[in-house]
Structure formats: structure tokens, C-alpha cells
Amino acid sequence: MWGKGLAELCAHVREGNDLNREQAAAAAHLLAEGQGTLTERENLLLALQEKGESPVEVAGFASVFRELARDPELGELAENAFDFAGTGGDKSGTANLSTMASLLVASMGVPVVKHGNRSITSKCGSADLISALGFPLEAENAQLRECLERFNFTFLFAPRFHPAWKHVAEVRQSLAAKGHRTIFNILGPLINPARTPYQVMGVYAKEWVEPLADALGDLGVRRGLLANGEPFEGGTLDELATSGTTHVAGAGGLKGLSEAWLPEKFGLERCALDELKGGDLDRNYAILNDLAEGKAKPGLTDTVALNAGVALWVAEQATSPERGISQAREHIASGQLLQWLQRLRSYLA
């Protein structure tokens, strides 16, 4: 452990230096323990933000909060599991697209261990929608494992698995009230306690795509993909979408991939952003049902299929994104997603 306090770490960063992995881990531990004054904690996070957090710093922070997380004890069931999550913060008002894609992928036989929270910057978070299906957010490990065994899906409610997170709540809230984003705004998708080897991660800003791909690779992901959507010039989405360009970068086995994808690349029609809009929990739950019943707007169905198809490819369950998208669309059209959801609801009731 690097034997310095928050003030010394802050001074080091203020001089324009990146923290190395050991220093970043030391900083994360100090913050996780609630060390120092509120001002000292704020100053360090602001210094990192103003300098620009490096991939090594992000990976260092993420590794600490992974270590401090409660173990869901999924064992071998998580060895080939997939997670699909976004940072949030894009203020786009879209439906829970990555959550719907996660359910679709699980219904196709791929083990999904989704890690998420209730709504923070939107009207409906992933945990809100999953809870509406009947999933117990406070489930014990045995229940989480059983659901994964039966349905290839389980959900890890972030507040339950990250007790150390409570020690950073004060400084996060204080800086957020002043209009500041920090490294904690991007850590959530990187600290799944199950440490899934396959992951697609959406991020709210294009400039984070490449650095977070590097960080995800540093954390040991087998195959990962970072994505940021650009539905129109100046617009941003923390997921893949058929409404415009998606900027992607690969990690792990996909390292070196760096492209801008258009929906036409995959034989999909471009849609208006309005077709992807969601709302509160009731609205998003209705959209999920419409999707499963084949009644959702074409742009939304194509976007969920795009996300699911790319996920299948990342998880080595499809030979290409195009093939994965085709499989996902066929699965929806055949009614298999609807049947799977009905079985899941009955089990959770």
C-alpha cells in the first residue's frame, strides 16, 4: 500500500501526474474507509476529474471496490456469464434498452449476471424494472444461484453487494450538488461482484470509450465492448442504438477494435430517437411486454435486437454481430422471449 494520505495523493495529481495502480488503489481504499475530511475527499476527486482519469486509475479504483464487494457465491455458474450495463447519465430518456437486451440474451440460453441499481438519473433504473418482474432485490445467494440455474439470469442489486459504497455517498452527493461528475460516475458497470468474463458496457460520453476499454481489459475481461451512441450530432446515449452512430472499442480478446457503427452496417433501418423513448416504471414495463409480444415500435425492437446480437457475439455465442442480431430477431418473432418471461414471472411470483 502506498503510504500517503489524501492530501499527498491530491498534490501528486495536481502536479499533472497520473496515479499508478498502487496509488490509485490506495486512494480508493482511503475513500472507501471514509478517511480524511469531506474537503480532502472532494479535492482528490476533483483533481482526478480535472486532470482526466486514466485507464490505470479507473482500473485501480474498480479493483478495490470489486475486492470489497460481497461475494454472490455463484461459482462455476459465473465462469462464462455475461453482463450488460451502462453508466447512465446520458439524460436521453430512453427505455431500459440494455436491461431488455439482457433478458433477451438470457432467454436465448446465455448466462447473464446483471449488476445494477434503482433509478438515479432516469425515471426507471434496471433494478426498478427487474423488481417489477417479481425479482427480490434482497435475495439471498442461494436464491440468486437458483434463478441463474433455472433461467440463465440473475440480478445483483448494487447497494446490497457494495457495503463500502456507503462511505463514498457523502462526497458523491456533495460534488453532484455542485454539478461535478467524478470517477464514481463510471465505476458502477466495472464492479460487478460476479466479475463476469464477458461484458458490453455503455458510457455516457464518447471520449470515455477508448479509456474504459483499456480499463476493462486491465481488469481481466475475457471479451468486452465499450459503446457510446450518437443519435444526432451532439447527442449521446450510453448504449448501442439504431438511431445513429455507435462508437465502439474492444477489450480483452476484442482489444484493437475501434470503429463507428451505423445501423445500416447490420441491415437495420435508422430510427428516430423518439422511437426509443421510455418513461416511468409503468411505461417501461409496458414497453417490455410490447417487445415480447412483437408489438413494440420497429426502431425499439431493432435496437434491442442490435444490443442482444452484439452481446451474443461478445459472449462467443454468435459468429458475428450480424448473425447474433438475426438470432435475436428470430427469437422475439417466434414468441420464445414472451414464453420465457411468462415462466420467469410464474417462478418469481
The answer to whether position 271 is within a domain reads yes
User: Cβ distance 73 to 37 under 8 Å?
Assistant: no
Residue 168 falls within a domain, yes or no?
no
Check whether 2 has a pLDDT greater than 50: no
The per-residue pLDDT for 121 is 59
Asked if residue 316 belongs to a domain, the reply is yes
Structural domains counted in the chain: 2
Determine the pLDDT at residue 124: 85
Q: Per the domain annotation, does 70 fall within a domain?
A: no
Range of the domain at 41: 6-52
By mean pLDDT, which of 68-82, 173-187, 297-311, 322-336 is the weakest?
A: 173-187
| 38 lies in the same domain as 142 | no
> Do residues 10 and 154 share a domain?
no
On whether both 43 and 83 belong to a single domain, the answer is no
Are 198 and 264 within one domain? yes
User: For residue 1, what pLDDT is reported?
Assistant: 44
Mean pLDDT on 8-25: 96
Residues 154 and 13 in one domain: no
Are 127 and 229 contained in the same domain? Answer: yes
Which percentage of the chain shows pLDDT scores above 90?
Answer: 88
**SS3 annotation, the chain:** CCCCCHHHHHHHHHCCCCCCHHHHHHHHHHHHCCCCCHHHHHHHHHHHHHHCCCHHHHHHHHHHHHHCCCCCCCHHHHCCCEEEEECCCCCCCECCHHHHHHHHHHHCCCCEEEEECCCCCCCCCHHHHHHHCCCCCCCCHHHHHHHHHHHCEEEEEHHHHCHHHHHCHHHHHHHHHCCCCCCHHHHHHHCCCCCCCEEEEECCCHHHHHHHHHHHHHCCCCEEEEEEEECCCCCCECCCCCCCEEEEEEEECCCCCEEEECHHHHCCCCCCHHHHECCCHHHHHHHHHHHHCCCCCHHHHHHHHHHHHHHHHHCCCCCCHHHHHHHHHHHHHCCHHHHHHHHHHHHHC
pLDDT of residue 122: 67
Question: pLDDT (tens digit, 9 = 90+) per residue, 319-334?
Answer: 999 999 999 999 999 9
Whether the per-residue pLDDT at 206 is higher than 70: the answer is yes
Position 59 in a domain: no
Q: Is 39 in the same domain as 130? A: no
Answer yes or no: is 63 within a domain. no
pLDDT digits 0-9 by tens, 234-266? 889 999 999 999 999 999 999 999 999 999 999
Mean per-residue pLDDT for 165-170? 88
Q: Give the residue among 218, 212, 223, 259 at the shortest CA–CA distance from 240.
A: 259
Whole-structure pTM value: 0.95
Instruction: Indicate the pLDDT class of residue 210, thresholds 50, 70 and 90.
Output: very high
Q: Are residues 121 and 44 in the same domain?
A: no
**In the predicted model, is pLDDT for residue 211 greater than 90?**
yes
pLDDT exceeds cutoff 50 at 187: yes
CATH number at residue 313: 3.40.1030.10
Both 129 and 259 in one domain: the answer is yes
Q: Does 178 fall in a domain?
A: no
Report whether pLDDT(27) > 60: yes
